[in-house]
Amino acid sequence: MGPRLLLLLPPLGCLALLLPPPGAAEFSPSLDSDFTFTLPAGRKECFYQPMRKEASLELEYQVLDGAGLDVDFHLLSPKGETLVFDERKSDGVHTVETEDGDYMFCFDNTFSTISEKVIFFELILDNMGEDGQDEEDWKKYVTGTDLLDMKLEDILESINSVKARLSKSVQIQTLLRAFEARDRNIQESNFDRVNFWSMVNLGVMVVVSAVQVYMLKSLFEDKRKSRT
């Protein structure tokens, strides 16, 4: 089941927290999750991710659209300590070794008063305690020391290797889609600018041509009047 998030507005109205409802699944502990959202101008959005001790949290973000393609990023530990602070960057990748508790990461667009930002981020969770349980489940159904001349550890190693490679492939494809979306937004923005300034130049040329025709016509009219 995918991530479920609930939007809560604090009393001051300047900070929006996305919290999972009680008893619901947060970002899936099956290694990775990704999310794309729109951050309005002058706003700050924060998210929480529960983590276990001696696990690993990798977070990658990109600003896909918006003036400047930049945002402030904060990552705080369960104790409220600032682990990462990026000021007005378009992308970033951060990995931290975790302890028990909820990690908070925020995207801050309060420095912008006009432009909203479209932000993509991906969470990759490692060592969340499931692999050990999978290994115990395998051992319940295996008897003896060999299974078709292959040890249980070899089977688990092969499966984990395939699983890791598949996860890496999915991660790379997700990042490529994010890069493609950002490049497409930049190209569309440039296309609109080229069209706008082309129309401005066309308008200036029409005005200048009209003025020149009028000036030439007025010169000839003055000469005819002076002769009469």
> Domain residues of the chain, as ranges?
28-129, 153-220
Average pLDDT (1-18) is 38
What's the angle, vertex CA 14, arms to CA 82 and CA 68, rounded to 5? 75
pLDDT at position 41 over 50: yes
Q: Taking phi first (over 0 means left), then psi (-120 to 50 degrees means alpha), and beta for anything else, what does residue 66 get?
A: left
Query: Rounded to an integer, what distance in angstroms lies between the CA atom of residue 120 and that of residue 187?
Result: 18
User: For residue range 82-140, what is the model confidence (pLDDT) as tens digits?
Assistant: 999 999 998 898 999 999 999 999 999 999 988 899 999 989 888 876 554 555 555 55
pLDDT at position 72 over 90: yes
**93 close to 81: Cβ distance less than 8 angstroms:** no
What's the angle, vertex CA 121, arms to CA 115 and CA 122, rounded to 5? 175
Query: Rounded to an integer, what distance in angstroms lies between the CA atom of residue 178 and that of residue 172?
Result: 10
152-227 vs 130-140: helix crossing angle, rounded to 10:
140
**137 close to 89: Cβ distance less than 8 angstroms:** no
pLDDT at position 77 over 70: yes
pLDDT at position 21 over 80: no
Bridge partners (DSSP) of residue 32 are 124
Phi/psi at 143 (5° precision) = -115, 145
Prediction pTM value: 0.54
CATH assignment, 28-129 = 2.60.120.680
DSSP string covering 34-72: EEEEEE-TT-EEEEEEEE-TT-EEEEEEEEEESGGG-EE
pLDDT at position 145 over 90: no
Look at the chain and count its residues: 228
